[in-house]
Structure 1
Amino acid sequence: MQTYDYTLGETQITYLVTDEGRTSFVMLPAGQAGKLAVNWESASAAADAANEYNKEWKSGSLVQLHLRHHKRSLGNGSTMKYSESTDRLRFEKQWEEKKESQTRIVTVLASPENYKVIHTLTWMQGQTAVFSETEFVNESDGAMVLEMLSSFCLENLSPCQKDSDQTDKLALHRFRGSWALEGMHTAQSIEELGLQKAWCSPFPKSEKFGSVGSWTTQTYFPTAAVEDRDHHLFWAAALEYNASWQMELSRDGDTLSFSGGIADEEKGAWSKTVQPGERFCAPRAYVTVVKGDIYDACQSLTRLENIAADAYAEEGLPVIFNEYCASWGNPTQEKVLQFARTIKGKGIRYLVIDAGWSKDSNEQLGNGEWLVDTNRFPDMKEMNRKLRADGFIPGIWLEFEVTTMGSRVYERDYDSMHLKRNGVVIHNGPYRTYWDFTNPEVVGYLQKHVIGMLKEYDFGYLKVDYNGNIGLGCDCGESLGEGLRRQMQGVLDFFIRIKKEIPDIIIENCASGGNRTEPSMLAVTAMTSFSDAHEAREIPYIAANLQNLVLPRQNQIWAVVRKDHTKERLEYGLAAGFLGRLCLSGDIEQLSQEQWETISDGIRFYQGLEHILKNGVSKIFGKRSAYIRHPKGTQAVVRANDQEILIVCHGFEETEDEFSIPIGKGFEPADRYGRDIFRVEEERVIVKKMEEWTAGAVRLVKNNEISG
């Protein structure tokens, strides 16, 4: 056994290369690196049914892959890992590259059949997570068909545990997707998942999960973590991919393997033919290990997302007004200008026209041509000129990836431009079909009708909605899953094209709310819709969930105001918006002066949160129920950095008694909003018992003289 050690900031990477050349790596916080419990050199014992602990340590692999012509493992039907294709890989070489603030560790694994895998870890200075990239190279004389290729593979979990059973010591953390109930955190032990060790392990077993189709967070978010409960260690990963994906926590012997990538042939009907001399790159992943809690693990990943998303970021965190919850799909030029007169001078920059503005459209119906309805908007160009003169950036809603019933381009004459599965045009529900983004004719059409329209009318903000899932795949590739990958890469490329041609445009990612809130889409948009929970009382709960999964500076949260809202109800909604990007909607032209004072106070408070929302770590305190739709208890979201702390509290039904939040030494209140519920005592904040359905927020700053 040979080991190769690298220290990347706070993380120790140890590559393990067996005498046979099988290669894997272990990630640990640098302070834990000397506490490995596994004896890597120990041989596996022969299976013995009477022996309580049969040692079956296996080194694992840096990558997992399966080629069609090879034998699968005995885990067939549960997992495609551990196949002959992986077994044939042997260590060839490894090197380290350092350039300015970046370090890359490149490892090449080779097979006697003349295929290779190039695995790259990239660390950016100051980060606690790394990028993981896997590239398959066909150096043979014939085509090879990939049916599975991992983006990341964390083996030997947990290397700090001494016994082979690891009973009641490891857990899998996941985040559920669900329309208007996004981001629910769950944690299950390996025993609950059926991954505890039997007396021997002839059959690999796996907990495989993910989402199928183009709604990438419909079932789960592509972020998960494995916890060593004894040592408070978390190995976490996120996938940067906007099509069918999977992650697996699997067992083959004593240790667990945590991996993920494109949904494979069994889960996502994916296979990819790689011709001689060709290469194929799996989607990029983010991986980390931290000593702490699940919040620390998730924040390590989202901090790395910060780097990926910088190219599409905007200056400041301007407040948005979206008229959807005012017109409910029936906007007009007269209404838009009336809204502008109402909110002028109130600290709102973006004024967004939502669904229903185009010719022949009825909100979700009649979409695809994107021609302005001149009955509703007789002079949209002049309207936008007036909006800009009044200090607004005008925005527009489109769902340009689809066509819907009632539009000319929805009809059969355009079938050649729509996605098909098994030769039949794909319909989502009774009235939605999908443009084929691998077809140059489609891209040309959208260049004219989308990018051309945005330029002609001088829009500076684009809300891109996406109200349906393609499903398992489509015909524009050698497999349904590969067709979906190519389709969604085409979609991603079109987002990039929009920004390239209109550099100042701000793009919002929406998919019936938060159904594709994943890193690749977040990297090409300024912000994302958090949910379609427009007015529900559970909005603060969902917004808090997403602190683990989305940068607050990208997480747009509805704050819908109504003419019958009390001061407490207005504060409750505005305070939820403090957890991300504040988006107002509703009866703004029917509010009283007193109601506007409450809203204006909220906007003023929000405008002081830019730094903490962009640069901080979030954690959730208090006791809240597991039931999101009708939440109970009290929720406190704390976002902190070295100099500032933001605490946003919501009281749901049956609020809990007074509780405390540790804050460190030297912090003092700088601003407050909502209910007066906070009391600072030395190194903690006391949250008083709250009334039901109320909210309060406080921003604290460090007094360096006191802390000093």
Structure 2
Amino acid sequence: MTLLHWSTTDLTLTFALDDGGPVRLTAVREKSQPSAAGPEPSQPLVEVSAIGYGRSPSSNRHVETALGQQLRYVSHEESESLLRIVQEEPRSGLRVVSVFEARAGVRAWSEASISGTGTLQLTFLSSLVVGLASIDADLYSAENTWMAENRWSAHPLRSGALAQIVRDPHHHVARSRHAVTNTGSWSTGERSPIGVLVERSTPYAIGWQIEHNGPWHYELGESLRGGYLLLSGPTDQEHQWSFELSAGKPFTTVPVSLVAGTDRDSVFAALTRQRRAIRQRRPIDDRMPVVFNDYMNTLLGDPTTEKLLPLIDAAATVGADYFCIDAGWYAEGDWWNTVGAWQPSTTRFPNGLAEVIDRIHSHGMVPGLWLEPEVIGVRSPMAAELPDDAFLTRRGLRVEESGRYLLDLRNQAARAHLDETVDRLVRDFGVGFFKFDNNTMTGPGTDNGGTSVGHGLLEHQRALLDWLDDLQTRHPELLIENCASGAMRMDYAMMSRLHLQSTSDQEHPLLYATIAAAAPAAVLPEQAGHWAYPISGSTREEFTFALVNGVLGRLYLSGHLNRMTPPELDLVRSALSAHRAVLDDLDSLVPSWPLGLPTWTDEWVALCLNGPGACYLTVWHRAPGPSTITFAFPRSKIEPHFPTDLDGWTYTWTGDSLTISVDTPEPSARVLRLT
């Protein structure tokens, strides 16, 4: 057996190049971490299934595949930035190249091809499989749903699916798995494609994310020696995906990222650095404007000239940089099932949308518009103008969901329609910002073009990414927000390309607190668009709480500013000033959670964004009445960052313990700066 050690800036990966077996990835460790004691994991680097080539023993797991066991090392090429390991299965002619790209962590994927004239009906191909020395570990993972995103929890693997089975004298190994799967076009519709595994007996942790804007799957299980972590995109078993591999038709899996550390927060910090490293950042992304959006707790999809003009004036007076008109600007009444033509409403804007856009420009703000590009309402004129091939279809029939048809962006007519729409709005109105929403799921996918349903969806989702890349090349000054009923598609296929991510549609500030606090586990702080929607006439603490939610991210301003009193507007200006101070360092800060990742009902919630000279700490107390909480922090100087007064909150140091006492009769929140 030959060992291959390949290092990046932060990590060392160890591969076993067995003469008589498949290549194995046996260790992923920080450079400073010692190698683990004990036997090396036995898990192959690649798992692959095809019709006629199953698994042995039979199970629902995607390991112990016949083809994966028969792959043999052929060669490898390595440099400081890239490693390619080639394996072949001689009987079928299958060739798999495992690619590793050095970033802050490691990015990996698999490339499959076949020699000769035969074909192989792939039903599964892993992006990456890692051998684990131990599964005596806690898994951090997140549940997602509309208005309740980023609900993280930790579970011991041994307490669930991976029960300990006594091996002596029969030497049985469990065939169970801990599987996490997401289906359809909402990549985070139910679960996050991110996980962190923290060993219980040693200071070791590993983290990952699957970078795909559609279906994905990961699983953890036990093997003969240790365990395994398997990461993939769509599968036949979970997503109705298959692909005919032939000499002229190779296949590449979705990419995944991998990092390592010593504990939970060090791994999330490493994931933060990895996201920054893979982000395709453009010069315009350095701008990081404060955006006012008229939707949340304000116009709620009912914009008109009469309602917008005073809001635009008020947004300018508090210092907003961009003003985005949200849903409804194109609708002559109900906008849900008529979307698709994207022409301004004549009833909402009697003198034309240009009157409203000109008012935005007159204040030196950049105009933005809401757009849901991937759908056509069944009552839209575009539903009849576009051919059936422009839509996702199954068995020749258009897929219809909730009164909408779904564009297939593999189709040139569909892309031409969207190109014309965006180009026209940028040209005619000087639009510099789009909020791209996606409120309708595709289901399993499309068989248009003779593909499997799952592969049709994979091709469509990749075509969407290609369209976004082309769009931003044509319009380099354009900023795009990613939204899908809040954060139902918050993945790093999308966010490696787009500027801003809506973290939720949640309308209640108390509930938004846990979403805002947990968001940096899944998305970069400088991309996390948190609604700050203060309500005029609410108490000072309620008003402040709503603003605090946005300060340690990208404060996404809303609310009836035109109805607010001068003291309320001063508080909004103070929040924007505090937020801009954080923006100066935001793209270099990394998150930590001194009270642990928040749960949905926690009384106290806390988030730290840490830099070399300071820590920004947001603390939310979500219950009424007096209470006290203690943090373990190195003794520091505390400055109130927002609001700038200390009313109702006191801070006491005892050694390296910080005690915060709250004496407000209602829930309250503060942003502090520790130096």
TM-score, with structure 1 as normaliser: 0.89
Partner of 1:55: none
2:180 matches 1:209: yes
- Counterpart AA for 1:20: G
**1:106 aligned to which of 76, 80, 84:** 84
Q: Secondary structure at the match of 2:33?
A: helix
**2:578 aligned to which of 592, 605, 612:** 605
Q: Secondary structure at the match of 2:126?
A: strand
Cα distance in 2 between the residues matched to 1:195 and 1:584: 45
Q: Secondary structure at the match of 1:334?
A: helix
Q: Secondary structure at the match of 2:376?
A: strand
Deviates more, 1:505-514 or 1:599-608: 599-608
Deviates more, 1:638-647 or 1:140-149: 140-149
Partner of 2:329: 357
By how many angstroms is 1:339 displaced? 1.2
Deviates more, 1:683-692 or 1:578-587: 683-692
By how many angstroms is 1:550 displaced? 0.5
- Counterpart AA for 1:109: Q
**2:300 aligned to which of 328, 337, 343:** 328
Q: Secondary structure at the match of 1:287?
A: strand
Q: 1:409 to 1:685 in 2, by over 3 A?
A: same
% identical equivalent positions: 22
Contact 2:133–2:225 (CA<8 Å) still a contact in 1?
Answer: no
2:242 matches 1:271: yes
Partner of 1:46: none
Deviates more, 1:499-508 or 1:607-616: 607-616
Could you list the per-position Cα deviations for residues 347-375 of structure 1 after superposition, in whole angstroms to 9, with x for gaps in the alignment? 21110000111144523231011111123
Cα distance in 2 between the residues matched to 1:298 and 1:466: 28
Partner of 1:527: 500
By how many angstroms is 1:382 displaced? 4.6
2:429 matches 1:457: yes
Deviates more, 1:518-527 or 1:669-678: 669-678
Q: 1:60 to 1:447 in 2, by over 3 A?
A: same
2:83 matches 1:83: no
Q: 1:620 to 1:190 in 2, by over 3 A?
A: same
Cα distance in 1 between the residues matched to 2:594 and 2:132: 32
Cα distance in 2 between the residues matched to 1:518 and 1:409: 30
Q: 1:665 to 1:432 in 2, by over 3 A?
A: same
By how many angstroms is 1:636 displaced? 1.6
Q: 1:153 to 1:656 in 2, by over 3 A?
A: farther
Corresponding residue pairs, total = 661
2:102 matches 1:123: yes
2:362 matches 1:394: no
Cα distance in 2 between the residues matched to 1:30 and 1:625: 31
- Counterpart AA for 1:645: C
Could you list the per-position Cα deviations for residues 50-85 of structure 1 after superposition, in whole angstroms to 9, with x for gaps in the alignment? xxxxxxxx6211121112231323243x12322111
Contact 1:535–1:559 (CA<8 Å) still a contact in 2?
Answer: no
Q: 1:623 to 1:175 in 2, by over 3 A?
A: closer
2:319 matches 1:340: no
By how many angstroms is 1:536 displaced? 4.2
5+ residue gaps, structure 2: none
Cα distance in 1 between the residues matched to 2:514 and 2:425: 38
By how many angstroms is 1:494 displaced? 1.8
By how many angstroms is 1:483 displaced? 0.4
Could you list the per-position Cα deviations for residues 614-654 of structure 1 after superposition, in whole angstroms to 9, with x for gaps in the alignment? 1112122348974x2xx341112111111121011111126
Partner of 1:171: 138
2:190 matches 1:219: yes
Cα distance in 2 between the residues matched to 1:347 and 1:445: 35
Cα distance in 2 between the residues matched to 1:402 and 1:671: 43
- Counterpart AA for 1:372: P
Cα distance in 2 between the residues matched to 1:263 and 1:143: 20
Partner of 1:432: 404
2:566 matches 1:588: no
Contact 1:678–1:685 (CA<8 Å) still a contact in 2?
Answer: no
Spell out the pairing of 1:248-267 with structure 2 (5 A cutoff).
248-267=219-238
Cα distance in 2 between the residues matched to 1:288 and 1:575: 31
2:43 matches 1:67: no
- Counterpart AA for 2:223: D
By how many angstroms is 1:656 displaced? 8.1
Partner of 1:194: 161
RMSD in angstroms over aligned alpha carbons?
2.2
By how many angstroms is 1:455 displaced? 2.3
By how many angstroms is 1:254 displaced? 3.3
Could you list the per-position Cα deviations for residues 465-514 of structure 1 after superposition, in whole angstroms to 9, with x for gaps in the alignment? 10011111112351010000111112122222221221101100000000
Q: 1:700 to 1:391 in 2, by over 3 A?
A: farther
- Counterpart AA for 2:66: E
Cα distance in 1 between the residues matched to 2:78 and 2:585: 35
Cα distance in 2 between the residues matched to 1:109 and 1:624: 41
Cα distance in 2 between the residues matched to 1:604 and 1:88: 61
**1:300 aligned to which of 270, 281, 304:** 270
By how many angstroms is 1:674 displaced? 5.9
Q: Secondary structure at the match of 1:621?
A: coil
Cα distance in 2 between the residues matched to 1:658 and 1:589: 37
Partner of 1:30: 31
Contact 1:535–1:560 (CA<8 Å) still a contact in 2?
Answer: no
Q: 1:61 to 1:380 in 2, by over 3 A?
A: same
Deviates more, 1:338-347 or 1:572-581: 338-347
Contact 2:152–2:598 (CA<8 Å) still a contact in 1?
Answer: no
Could you list the per-position Cα deviations for residues 530-550 of structure 1 after superposition, in whole angstroms to 9, with x for gaps in the alignment? 011033421011111112010
2:631 matches 1:661: yes
- Counterpart AA for 2:85: T
TM-score, with structure 2 as normaliser: 0.93
Q: Secondary structure at the match of 1:345?
A: helix
Could you list the per-position Cα deviations for residues 277-333 of structure 1 after superposition, in whole angstroms to 9, with x for gaps in the alignment? 44221111110111122x321221222111222425622432111111322211123
Deviates more, 1:541-550 or 1:414-423: 414-423
By how many angstroms is 1:194 displaced? 2.1
Spell out the pairing of 1:210-249 with structure 2 (5 A cutoff).
210-249=181-220
Contact 2:389–2:448 (CA<8 Å) still a contact in 1?
Answer: no
2:111 matches 1:135: yes
Cα distance in 1 between the residues matched to 2:598 and 2:100: 39
Partner of 2:468: 495
Cα distance in 2 between the residues matched to 1:401 and 1:243: 14
- Counterpart AA for 2:63: K
- Counterpart AA for 1:616: L
Contact 2:162–2:174 (CA<8 Å) still a contact in 1?
Answer: no
2:131 matches 1:152: no
Cα distance in 2 between the residues matched to 1:232 and 1:363: 54
Q: Secondary structure at the match of 2:302?
A: coil
- Counterpart AA for 1:299: A
Contact 2:21–2:70 (CA<8 Å) still a contact in 1?
Answer: no
Partner of 1:548: 521
Q: 1:361 to 1:421 in 2, by over 3 A?
A: farther
- Counterpart AA for 1:387: I
By how many angstroms is 1:122 displaced? 1.8
By how many angstroms is 1:594 displaced? 1.2
Partner of 2:341: 369
- Counterpart AA for 1:216: S
- Counterpart AA for 1:367: V
Contact 1:12–1:33 (CA<8 Å) still a contact in 2?
Answer: no
- Counterpart AA for 1:80: H
2:548 matches 1:575: yes
Cα distance in 2 between the residues matched to 1:690 and 1:470: 49
Contact 1:492–1:521 (CA<8 Å) still a contact in 2?
Answer: yes
Partner of 1:3: 3
- Counterpart AA for 1:510: C
- Counterpart AA for 2:127: S
Partner of 2:609: 639
Cα distance in 2 between the residues matched to 1:188 and 1:280: 35
Q: Secondary structure at the match of 2:517?
A: helix
Q: Secondary structure at the match of 2:76?
A: strand
Could you list the per-position Cα deviations for residues 199-243 of structure 1 after superposition, in whole angstroms to 9, with x for gaps in the alignment? 233663322222100001011110012221111321111011011
Q: 1:210 to 1:298 in 2, by over 3 A?
A: farther
By how many angstroms is 1:9 displaced? 3.1
Q: 1:361 to 1:451 in 2, by over 3 A?
A: farther
Deviates more, 1:641-650 or 1:375-384: 375-384
